[in-house]
Amino acid sequence: MRWFVDHVLVILLVVASLAANTPAQQSPAKPEAVLTEALSAACRQDAAAFANFLTSDNSTAYRALPEPQRIAFMKRFVLLEQAGRPLLSTSDSGREVLRCETPGFDTEMHFGEVRTRENLAFVPMEIPIPGEASEKITFGLVREAGNWKLLSLGLVLLDIPALARQWEQADVEEREAKAVADLRALAKALESYRNAYGKLPDSLAPLGPAGTEGISPDAAGLVDAELAAGNKDGYTVRYTIVPAGGNLPEEDANKVERFGLAATPDQYGKTGRKSFFLDSEGVLRGADKQGALATSTDPRISPG
């Protein structure tokens, strides 16, 4: 019996020792504290820290975004273009105020009364705007693995995988629009070159920036260096000349030489999907050619 008691005492002493040396489990941070940390990270434009306050799916998708999109996403949270310094204070009413100071402009975010419902929390916020009515918005948070994570911005759920697809499509469309604008800029430059020197250049290179000696047939200063090199905004441009009288109907044989400009995406699906062809009459054609070259036989694209 004495042996049993001694062993029980030893076990109790070991358990007590382990308990004394084990840190006490901390309670999860409150929703408003988590939101403060998230907004502070957004103020600093610290993408790595900001990702920690997103749900697991959103965090994975956010980390996979290109850096400009990650920064743009954080800017939306603090309504500031530049990275700033977060400062936390308390208002006269005892509510938290997070101030984000930047060289150009500051914002203040006044926290309201937090409403918690089981695994959801709602944190109202008011952002004073000088000369205008204050902007009011409510952040939603959800408890995930015992910690609060950002769920919504106002009534809009944060679905970063879906946003990433939308942003990717918007980026592609923007690059395609720039490619068309670049083709038109080149066409205008080619006509200017023809008017100045009486002929079309053999390549796009002579359209480029002039040197210290001024403009010349070899450096006409009509477009920037990228366009003169035939590569800009994620597209490669190919330039061809149709000689006067060549491949033309008999009645057009005496007309001046014509040209064609074809633009194809450097990385199909990423820098663009459509290929374009612009002729010297200003007619734009093109289609999704899976990265192949567009030609004068492709569907006409109406100005829009």
**Alpha-carbon dihedral of residues 161, 167, 169, 170, nearest 10 degrees?**
160
One domain, residues 187 and 246: yes
Of the listed ranges 29-43, 62-76, 114-128, 147-161, the one predicted with least confidence: 147-161
Mean pLDDT comparison of 17-31, 67-81, 83-97, 194-208, highest-scoring range: 194-208
- Look up the domain containing 177 and give its range: 171-288
pLDDT tier for residue 3 given thresholds of 50, 70 and 90: very low
The Cα–Cα gap between 264 and 285 comes to 12
The structure tokens 């693995």 sit at: 145
Question: Could you give the angle at the alpha carbon of 221 between the alpha carbons of 184 and 186, nearest 5°?
Answer: 15
The Cα–Cα gap between 134 and 146 comes to 33
Of the listed ranges 95-99, 224-228, 249-253, the one predicted with least confidence: 249-253
**149: pLDDT strictly greater than 60:** yes
Share of the chain above pLDDT 70, in %: 86
Closest CA to 127 of 42, 31, 55, 28: 42
One domain, residues 176 and 107: no
**Of 96, 124, 158, which marks where a domain is finished?**
158
Q: Is 22 domain-assigned?
A: no
Domain count within the chain: 2
One domain, residues 175 and 153: no
Question: Quick one: average pLDDT of 99-107?
Answer: 88
Q: What was the pLDDT predicted at 160?
A: 78
The Cα–Cα gap between 80 and 233 comes to 27
- Beta bridge partner(s), residue 122: 115, 140
Judging by DSSP bridges, how do beta strands 96-101 and 147-153 pair with one another? Answer: unpaired
Q: Which residue has the higher pLDDT, 255 or 151?
A: 151
Query: What DSSP designation does 104 have?
Result: S
One domain, residues 129 and 220: no
Q: Which residue has the higher pLDDT, 105 or 254?
A: 105
Contact yes or no for 169/267 (Cβ under 8 A): no
Q: What was the pLDDT predicted at 11?
A: 34
pLDDT tier for residue 249 given thresholds of 50, 70 and 90: low
One domain, residues 49 and 141: yes
pTM of the model: 0.55
Q: Is 266 domain-assigned?
A: yes
